[in-house]
Amino acid sequence: MTAVGIDAVEVWTGNLKLDLAETFAPEKGDDPEKYTKGLGLRASSFPDSYEDIVTMGANAAKRLMDRKGLTPDDIGRIDVATESSFDNSKPISTYIAGCLEQVYDGDFHHANKGERKFACIAGTQSVDDAYNWIRAGRNRGRSAIVVATDTALYARGDAGEATQGAGAVALLISEDPDLVEISTHQGYGSADETDFLKPNQQFPSVDGKRSVQVYLARMREALEDYESVAGDVHIDDFVYAPFHTPFPGMVRKAAALAYRHVTRDTGVEEELAEGIGRQPRRESFDDDAQYEEAVREYMDALKETGRYQDWYAAAVDPTLSIARDVGNWYTASVHLARVSALKTALEADRDVTGESMLVASYGSGAQAEIHGETVQDGWAEEIAALNIDEQVADRYDLSWAEYEEVHDRHNHDMDSELEEFTAPEAEFVFDGWGRMGERKYTYVE
Ligand code: HMG
């Protein structure tokens, strides 16, 4: 069977930055370590006044097309995943295609375009759609561009305000991919949940604490479902485990639970038992409360073991390096986690060709999905071509008053004007409104 997967990836961050320790924490009267250590975040990316989900997505897609030497004729699909859309009918992929047509010869008139919505998991679902389209043999030799783009803004004062972010990831899905092959095995954990939603409103209604529990519950279901098709997962089977990362502290919780699950009844559990005992089993306890208390104690002890810490440092921590500085990018988040992991490998001069990754996506509302990927031999060249470090370093550092202004500028109910903080260069910008209320865009050299 021909390999299908991600041939190339490009990243675009919002051009502004909110520093959580220096700017956010003092304003809230909080200890900065609540953010840097507790949530695991140093800063969030923000969109400047001329940026939105279209500009960030189109900018990432343009970098992707330029780097791979693609023309519109090479692309048979443009799928956009977002939960920040400003249009309930016209998909964001048409706006992005319109932007790209301004700068390339030819057009995307024979490319299928759509928009996927299921909170943060829609990015992975769009990759699936493209994968299935190629597997079904309907691509006529062409590739798909998947763009995951979001402005993850919360209402001012919401507990989620510390976990905001803005950015886009563009992925090229092709046969014989250079970056990763995607396996056919998938596991799902999906249930009707009311933890995070936007019923015809821009900013989410969030039950933050519950959303954390729902994330963990759906992830566990997805892992069990994955194992039912792919066989038991062993902790040493994969080099990295990129998770959806609303904030790194969330992944810290999920990784520990996943570790407990996959090491149960294995030699790893037996080895650990000498120091911390075996994992509690429900049948050994009279009631749920006692069992849950024993699990909590086991988890606390597990996280202190060298064996767990070494695994976490090698397989999970590298997936969080970009998220720490940019926050939650919703649909793009897990795809940024994959980039972070491979970038860490490249920087450590480590060859991960042929290694597996276990990729864990999640969207509120709620659904988790887990699948395997195999790193392909063009990965190092692909990752070396990214300029994400420069993008992150070049962001304008907002003061608190400026942050308030930018938040208002992007609030759809406020209609506020604001001078830009940065000078756009070689990128698409929002350029005002058309006669039917459509947003308009221009490419700035
Ligand atoms: P909060 O109540 O402000 O924070 O909101 P907290 O009091 O829970 O503290 C956070 C952590 O910092 C805790 O760590 C504290 O102990 C620690 P934990 O105990 O949980 O491991 N802490 C400190 N650590 C060191 N030094 C200190 C200190 N102080 C406290 N001084 C909450 C946290 C996550 C609820 C909030 O940020 C929120 O509502 N976020 C938005 C929702 C969210 O991100 N949920 C995640 C799961 S759902 C998801 O991922 C989907 C999503 O991406 C949307 C989609 O799918 O579309 C959100």
Q: Does the pLDDT at position 415 exceed 90? A: no
Please give the distance, rounded to the nearest whole angstrom, from the Cα atom of residue 84 to the centre of ligand 1: 21
- Domain, as residue range, for 154: 4-444
Q: Where are the beta strands (DSSP E) in 281-415?
A: 356-363, 367-375, 396-397
Residue whose CB lies within 8 A of the most ligand 1 atoms, among 30, 39, 41, 312, for a mutation test: 39
Q: Whose CA is nearest to atom 32 of ligand 1?
A: 208
**In the chain, pLDDT over 90 holds for what percent of residues?**
99
Percentage with pLDDT > 70 across the chain: 100
Q: How many residues does the chain have?
A: 445
Is the separation of the CB atoms in 146 and 171 below 8 Å? yes
Q: Which has the minimum average pLDDT: 54-68, 338-352, 383-397, 407-421? A: 407-421
pLDDT score recorded for residue 377? 97
Ligand 1 atom 51: the closest Cα is on which residue? 364
User: Which protein residue's CA is at the shortest distance from atom 35 of ligand 1?
Assistant: 208
Check 120, 161, 193, 427 and give the catalytic one.
120
Nearest CA to ligand 1 atom 11: 38
> Is 120 an annotated catalytic residue?
yes
* pLDDT averaged over every residue in the chain: 97
Query: How far is the C-alpha of 343 from the C-alpha of 333, rounded, in Å?
Result: 15
What's the 250 CA to ligand 1 centre distance in angstroms? 7
Domain count, the chain: 1
Residue 90: per-residue pLDDT: 97
Residue where the block lists tokens 């992925």: 171
Dist CA 33 CA 354 (whole Å): 38
Query: How far apart are the CA of 39 and the centre of ligand 1, in A?
Result: 6
Instruction: Give residue 302's pLDDT.
Output: 98
The 10s digit of each residue's pLDDT in 249-302 is: 999 999 999 999 999 999 999 999 999 999 999 999 999 999 999 999 999 999
State pLDDT tens for residues 326-345.
999 999 999 999 999 999 99
* Active-site annotation holds for 83: yes
The pLDDT tens digits for 216-242 are 999 999 999 999 999 999 999 999 999
The verdict on whether 407 is a catalytic residue reads no
Write the single-letter amino acid at 443. Answer: Y
Residue 403: how many other CB atoms lie within 10 Å = 22
Quote the distance between the C-alpha of residue 276 and its chain's center.
34
Which residues are bridge partners to 171 per DSSP? 9, 146
Query: Residue 300's domain is classified under what CATH number?
Result: 3.40.47.10
Q: Is the pLDDT of residue 1 over 90?
A: no
Instruction: Give the number of the atom of ligand 1 that is nearest the alpha carbon of residue 252.
Output: 21
Q: Is the pTM of the predicted complex or chain greater than 0.85?
A: yes
* Pocket lined around ligand 1, Cβ cut-off 6 Å: 31, 33-34, 37-39, 83, 119-120, 159-160, 162-163, 196, 206, 208-209, 211-212, 215, 244, 246-247, 249-250, 328, 330, 362-364
CA atoms of 109 and 112, how far apart (whole Å): 8
Q: What is d(CA 169, CA 226) in angstroms, rounded to the nearest whole number?
A: 25
- Atom 48 (ligand 1) nearest CA: 211
Positive or negative: CA dihedral 414, 406, 54, 128: negative
Q: Which of 83, 193, 221, 382 is catalytic?
A: 83
Per DSSP, the three-state class of 144 is strand
